[in-house]
Amino acid sequence: MLDQNALKRNAAQAAVDYVLPLLGPDSILGVGTGSTVDLFIDALAPHKQRFRGAASSSERSSARMAQAGIQVFDLNDIETMPAYVDGADEIDSGLNMIKGGGGALTREKIVASVAQQFVCIVDESKLVAKLGAFPLPVEVIPMAMAAVARRLARLGGEPEERKGFVTDNGCRILDVSGLDIADPAALEARINDIPGVVTCGLFAIAGADVALVSGQQGVRQLRAGQVSQ
């Protein structure tokens, strides 16, 4: 029986195998944040001569890639990328996701928006029938914390500040439990429209293009509409 770390390692290696054929000497790869992405960076490092470098969604990933000898680029200098690789806290059959457990949700959305495809790497515990068991992270400008929390409560959520945490953008996180996420894209748009919200951790308006899901029987490649629970 593989433990969760082994499952994550298998997903990370599957992602390396998936993206390498997409990369050329001038390619910039988008890289996300989190424990599975850490393993992806480690597995990618031996192939660093095959592509130009990467753009990252967090200071943590940038530092890990720099230490591995992968050149890190500012996203402002990049017009497009063949792929963005990142994990998720939850993912459903439509490849809608909840992300932001590590607090990098805004930069993750920004980097993903420049990529031609979003490759989500997860272990099978993250694959769910309906999003929402994992509290939804919402990045908020500090002066708006109380006002945003009241609006989220009116949507049926139970917001709680992530104590002692500041994002790479200098903002705060509200983790919202109890939301009914029947229509992920609609809820994403509604929360993002609240004044003071930088963005919420729903990735549904633009979800994943492919998910590499690591389980006891190996890694499955899933696309929207192909998942059954």
More confident residue, 183 or 223: 183
Class of 136-201 in CATH: alpha beta
CB-based contact 220:212 (threshold 8 Å): yes
Q: Residue 218: is its pLDDT beyond 50?
A: yes
Read off the pLDDT of each residue in 44-67 and give the average, rounded to a whole number. Answer: 96
- The reply to whether 126 sits in an annotated binding site is yes
**β-bridge mates for residue 177, sequence order:** 158
Q: Residue 229: is its pLDDT beyond 50?
A: no
Q: Percentage of residues in the chain with pLDDT exceeding 70?
A: 98
- The reply to whether 89 sits in an annotated binding site is yes
- The reply to whether 80 sits in an annotated binding site is no
- The reply to whether 53 sits in an annotated binding site is no
Q: Which residues are catalytic?
A: 108
So what's the pLDDT on residue 228? 45
Task: Specify the fold of 4-128+205-222.
Answer: Rossmann fold (3.40.50)
- The reply to whether 36 sits in an annotated binding site is yes
Full-model pTM: 0.94
**Out of 30-39, 165-174, 199-208, 220-229, which region has the weakest mean confidence (pLDDT)?**
220-229
Where along the chain do its domains lie?
Answer: 4-128+205-222, 136-201
Read off the pLDDT of each residue in 104-125 and give the average, rounded to a whole number. Answer: 97
Instruction: Single out the residue of 59, 123, 104 nearest to residue 203, CA to CA.
Output: 104
So what's the pLDDT on residue 224? 77
- Give the neighbor-by-neighbor strand order of the sheet with 84-86: 53-56, 28-31, 84-86, 118-123, 210-215, 218-222
Q: How confident is the model at residue 193 (pLDDT cuts 50, 70, 90)?
A: very high
Q: Cα separation of 78 and 34, whole Å? A: 23
Largest separation between any pair of C-alpha atoms in the chain:
52
